Amino acid sequence: MKRNKLKIIFRIIELVLGILIIIATSVLYFMDIISGGASGVISAVGMGIFIHANNLSKKDNTTE
């Protein structure tokens, strides 16, 4: 009986560790995707602001 309980406890620990490792790797993977996407969005917004400011400065130079 003790060996069976010990085997069950080890199986439960293995199962829990396996689930935690799968969750941790998927969370890290999605965080990497999100951070990459966020940096892409930030750079795109920055370029948009730069282009808009550049266009405004060109308009200011031509109209005045």
Asked if residue 32 is part of any domain, the answer here is: yes
Query: In whole angstroms, what is the distance from residue 22 CA to residue 13 CA?
Result: 14
The yes-or-no verdict on residue 63 having pLDDT over 60 is no
Asked if residue 9 is part of any domain, the answer here is: yes
Q: What does the pLDDT look like over 39-61, one tens digit per residue?
A: 677 777 777 878 877 777 777 66
Asked if residue 51 is part of any domain, the answer here is: yes
Asked if residue 44 is part of any domain, the answer here is: yes
Number of separate domains in the chain: 1
Asked if residue 12 is part of any domain, the answer here is: yes
Asked if residue 64 is part of any domain, the answer here is: no
Q: What is the model's pLDDT at position 44? A: 77
Q: Tell me the H-state helices in the chain.
A: 2-63
Sign of the Cα torsion 27, 30, 35, 36 reads positive
Query: In whole angstroms, what is the distance from residue 45 CA to residue 42 CA?
Result: 5
Tokens 């966020």 sit on residue? 38
Asked if residue 18 is part of any domain, the answer here is: yes
Asked if residue 62 is part of any domain, the answer here is: no
What is the extent of the structural domain holding 19?
A: 1-57
